[in-house]
Amino acid sequence: MAKITLKDGSVREVENGSTYQDFVKSLSNSLAKKVLVAKVDGKVTDLFAPINHDANVEFLTWDDADGRWALRHTASHILAQALKRLYKNDNIQLAIGPAIDNGFYYDIDMDRQLTDKDLADIEKEMKRIVKENLPLSRSELPRAEAIAKFKAEGESYKVQLIEDLPEDAIISLYTQGEFTDLCAGPHVVSTGKVKALKLQSIAGAYWRGDEHNKMLQRIYGTAFEKQSDLDDYLHMLEEAKKRDHRKLGKQLDLFSLHEEGPGFPFFHPNGMVIRNELINYWREVHRRYGYQEIKTPIILNRQLWETSGHWDHYKENMYFTKIDGDDYAIKPMNCPGGMLVYNSRQHSYRDLPLRLGELGLVHRHEKSGELHGLFRVRNFTQDDAHLFVTPDQVEEEIQHTIDLFDEVYSTFGLTYVAELSTRPEDSMGSDEDWELATNGLRKALEHRGLKYIVNEGDGAFYGPKIDFHLKDSIGRTWQCGTIQYDMQMPEKFDLTYVGEDGEKHRPIMLHRVVYGSIERFIGILIENYAGAFPTWLAPVQARILPITDKQADYAHELRKKMFDLGLRIEVDDRNEKIGKKIRESQMLKTPYSLVVGDQEMNDGTVAVRKYGEQQSETMKVEDFIAYLQDQIATKAKKY
């Protein structure tokens, strides 16, 4: 008998040789219907795997990332099986087919060039395989036998994968019906578990990502446990296309990207309005929360980056230059400069917590194929802050920082999920330091009562962190804010403060960003608002639309009156029909279109049409100005 310890701490005895699926059925039939895979001593495992030792076991459903991953991994095998059935006469060879975020893909090599029309036939065959509800099973072969098997089947890419493994490796295979694939797993118990799937696109992909290798065909798809979830996801994708910040950035004249500087965005006047409003708000909030602003140089010498650890741990992402024959680097992070500012004078415990904020321009090398609008660029402004605290101030300072995050994100109507990221493989510091730092972040989250998930091994090289994943108006999540606990930098830069005992002590440092990157945050806001920014952020807050030339002078008088009050107003005095002016003002997503004719000019009024509405409301000019000023002052989310 094997002793199985469950997540709640209870222990059950299970007969050796029975499967995890048998075991979960003995616990609860309703749970068994939901479970996709098991996690055994921290490793995700097939439900059909036999139980043969004492273990800690957790059962994972669609609600767990590893559960979704397993189901989508199985969907990729269903795709491969469908391709083998349909194109067996086209010399088809399978390469790799993993699960990925939000879906899966499979790379193939075949004589036939697939088109979007073929996707419908492939998807139909996949649904037939799902309906067949084929059970999956795992088997193993010695390396030599596995090579012989796939050579005989003409699967040269599988042979290459196996040949790269050690000679004593045991090769795992997964079988469903007539189809067997090379795979490490895990998978769900049967093809029938993949109840909702959709093939989305075909693209080219070099074998193993190497441009010197053959170009393969890559088929992308997604899979869900329920059809309703798939429908919601596809609707979200359609909505996301309409909100693409690159398209809207051009339409609204916010920013541009040029081949003269790939990954280096150019902000236009309209985009600078949004950028400056975000910076103004950042400064106002941080002043209230007790921050002081600093500015550090963009270029600093090699010795500094060696001291910080970036030269050894981050060099491949950095840009370099020489000055007077010495090596210098363009900063990829603001932290080392902040260390020098702190060290420029001696600090007392009375100075702490010391909160130093910086809107620092950083440069990081990204591969050209990974650049994406404002979301993935090579230079961006981080709204950094470095918080220097005593050990007994850590938790309170984290709570203070989360209070700031709550205020900022709620201003934009964004909610978030917190994620605790732990020690990565490439890291600095002792086990004791990492345990202390990770527990400090965990306690702060738990004492606040904040729900969070753990992302093992995804911390920074110098410390664990809490990431804040923002949820936008169509349900997508974006990683923006972060709080990082760092005991390494203060040690490396020999930071100290004088304690109450008159002795020198080492401060703890917290790194944190709210927006993350101003450029990326603007991209997120463009898509969150679909380009229709709230009044306080809108590049043009109102457009005055005279019906005829007779009202043009009045329109410009109104514009000057509002402009002098700090409002962003434009006049459309073109010789066009008023209907066209209104439509174009709506296309530019102007919060308020103000129509003025003879009646309005005589009465000192404007006909106000809010963005997205069909009806207008007549208001006194003074009343509209007061209303607009209130919208801006309160940072109202709706017009």
The 3-state secondary structure of 141-190, one letter per residue:
EEHHHHHHHHHHCCCHHHHHHHHCCCCCCEEEEEEECCEEEECCCCCCCE
Q: Which position among 335, 512, 589, 631 bears the catalytic label?
A: 335
Q: Is 504 helix (H, G, I), strand (E, B) or coil?
A: strand
Backbone angles phi, psi at 165, to 5 degrees: -85, 155
Instruction: Measure the CA–CA gap between 146 and 182, rounded to whole angstroms.
Output: 9
The verdict on 333 and 405 lying in the same domain is yes
| Residue 112 pLDDT | 92
Instruction: Measure the CA–CA gap between 148 and 621, rounded to whole angstroms.
Output: 84
| Residue 111 pLDDT | 92
Stretch 389-415: mean pLDDT: 94
Q: Which position among 386, 476, 512, 581 bears the catalytic label?
A: 386
Instruction: Measure the CA–CA gap between 233 and 476, rounded to whole angstroms.
Output: 10
* Residue 457 located in a structural domain: yes
- Cβ contact 282:383 at 8 Å: yes
The number of C-alpha atoms within 13 Å of 564 and in the hemisphere containing its C-beta is: 6
Stretch 591-612: mean pLDDT: 95
Q: Which position among 81, 176, 217, 382 bears the catalytic label?
A: 382
Q: Which position among 275, 363, 423, 511 bears the catalytic label?
A: 511
Answer with the residue of higher pLDDT: 54 or 291.
Answer: 291
Sign for the pseudo-dihedral over CA of 611, 614, 617, 621: positive
Residues in the chain: 639
Element (H, E) at 32: helix 29-34
| Residue 244 pLDDT | 93
Q: Is 122 helix (H, G, I), strand (E, B) or coil?
A: helix
Instruction: Measure the CA–CA gap between 374 and 246, rounded to whole angstroms.
Output: 8
Q: Is 313 a catalytic residue?
A: no
Instruction: Measure the CA–CA gap between 397 and 483, rounded to whole angstroms.
Output: 10
| Residue 249 pLDDT | 96
* CATH, residue 231: 3.30.980.10
Stretch 540-555: mean pLDDT: 95
Examine the fold and report which residue of 10, 44, 61 is the final residue of a domain before the chain moves on. Answer: 61
pLDDT band, very low/low/confident/very high, at 544 (cuts 50, 70, 90): very high
Query: Could you please report the per-residue DSSP string of 445-467?
Result: HHHHT--EEEETT-SBTTB-EEE
| Residue 488 pLDDT | 83
What range defines the domain where residue 24 resides? 2-61
Instruction: Measure the CA–CA gap between 272 and 266, rounded to whole angstroms.
Output: 10
Q: Is 556 a catalytic residue?
A: no
* Residue 638 located in a structural domain: no
The verdict on 47 and 84 lying in the same domain is no
Instruction: List for the chain the helix, strand, coil content (%; round to 5).
Output: 40, 30, 35
Give percent of the chain with pLDDT exceeding 70.
Answer: 100
Encoding tokens for residue 253? Answer: 């004249």
pLDDT tens for each residue of 54-76: 999 999 999 999 999 999 999 99
Stretch 526-550: mean pLDDT: 96
Report angle CA 367, 368, 374 to the nearest 5 degrees: 100
Burial class (CB in 10 A: 0-12, 13-18, 19+), 111: exposed
The verdict on 379 and 446 lying in the same domain is yes
Amino acid at 82: A
Cβ-Cβ contacts under 8 Å for 8 (sequence gap 6 or more):
none
pLDDT tens for each residue of 127-147: 999 999 999 999 999 999 999
Give 353's DSSP letter: S
* Residue 91 located in a structural domain: yes
User: In whole angstroms, how far apart are CA 128 and each of 68, 121, 260?
Assistant: 21, 11, 50
Q: Which position among 73, 378, 465, 559 bears the catalytic label?
A: 465
pLDDT tens for each residue of 22-40: 999 999 988 999 999 999 9
* CATH, residue 608: 3.40.50.800
* CATH, residue 330: 3.30.930.10
Instruction: Measure the CA–CA gap between 529 and 468, rounded to whole angstroms.
Output: 20
Q: Is the pLDDT at 426 greater than 90, yes or no?
A: no
Beta partners for residue 39, in sequence order = 44, 58
Q: Is 233 helix (H, G, I), strand (E, B) or coil?
A: helix
| Residue 157 pLDDT | 96
Q: Is 183 a catalytic residue?
A: no
The verdict on 54 and 121 lying in the same domain is no
Cβ-Cβ contacts under 8 Å for 55 (sequence gap 6 or more):
2, 4, 5, 40, 41
Instruction: Measure the CA–CA gap between 538 and 270, rounded to whole angstroms.
Output: 8
Q: Is the pLDDT at 462 greater than 80, yes or no?
A: no
* Residue 30 located in a structural domain: yes
Report angle CA 133, 195, 189 to the nearest 5 degrees: 45
pLDDT band, very low/low/confident/very high, at 457 (cuts 50, 70, 90): confident
Q: Is the pLDDT at 263 greater than 90, yes or no?
A: yes
The verdict on 110 and 231 lying in the same domain is yes
The verdict on 234 and 255 lying in the same domain is no
Taking Cα atoms as reference points, which of 192, 181, 402 lies closest to residue 289?
402
* Residue 43 located in a structural domain: yes
Stretch 611-639: mean pLDDT: 95
Instruction: Measure the CA–CA gap between 363 and 378, rounded to whole angstroms.
Output: 6
pLDDT band, very low/low/confident/very high, at 103 (cuts 50, 70, 90): very high
| Residue 323 pLDDT | 96
Which pTM value belongs to this model?
Answer: 0.81
pLDDT tens for each residue of 107-125: 999 999 999 899 999 999 9
> For the chain, how far is it from start to end, CA to CA, in angstroms?
67
Examine the fold and report which residue of 502, 528, 554 is the final residue of a domain before the chain moves on. Answer: 528
Instruction: Measure the CA–CA gap between 110 and 80, rounded to whole angstroms.
Output: 12
| Residue 477 pLDDT | 87
* Residue 245 located in a structural domain: no
Examine the fold and report which residue of 199, 219, 239 is the final residue of a domain before the chain moves on. Answer: 239
Q: Is the pLDDT at 489 greater than 90, yes or no?
A: no
Amino acid at 454: V
Encoding tokens for residue 387? Answer: 């918080």
Q: Which position among 384, 433, 486, 573 bears the catalytic label?
A: 384
* CATH, residue 25: 3.10.20.30
| Residue 114 pLDDT | 95
Q: Using a CB cutoff of 8 Å and minimum separation of 24, what contacts does 621-630 make?
A: 621/558, 621/561, 624/592, 624/594, 625/561, 625/562, 625/565, 625/567, 628/535, 628/541, 628/542, 628/562, 628/567, 628/592, 629/565, 629/567
Q: What is the dihedral of CA 586, 587, 590, 595, to 10 degrees?
A: -40
Q: Is 552 helix (H, G, I), strand (E, B) or coil?
A: helix
What is the domain count for the chain? Answer: 4
pLDDT band, very low/low/confident/very high, at 430 (cuts 50, 70, 90): confident
* Residue 246 located in a structural domain: no
Q: Is the pLDDT at 451 greater than 90, yes or no?
A: no
Beta partners for residue 44, in sequence order = 39
The verdict on 522 and 565 lying in the same domain is no
| Residue 459 pLDDT | 86
Q: Which position among 364, 376, 512, 589 bears the catalytic label?
A: 364
- Cβ contact 621:604 at 8 Å: yes
Give percent of the chain with pLDDT exceeding 90.
Answer: 82
Encoding tokens for residue 476? Answer: 């997508």
Instruction: Measure the CA–CA gap between 143 and 193, rounded to whole angstroms.
Output: 31
Q: Is 465 a catalytic residue?
A: yes
The verdict on 26 and 88 lying in the same domain is no
pLDDT band, very low/low/confident/very high, at 185 (cuts 50, 70, 90): very high
Stretch 191-212: mean pLDDT: 94
| Residue 8 pLDDT | 87
The verdict on 339 and 352 lying in the same domain is yes
The verdict on 365 and 388 lying in the same domain is yes
The verdict on 233 and 98 lying in the same domain is yes
Q: Is 245 a catalytic residue?
A: no
Stretch 160-187: mean pLDDT: 95
The verdict on 604 and 489 lying in the same domain is no
* Residue 244 located in a structural domain: no
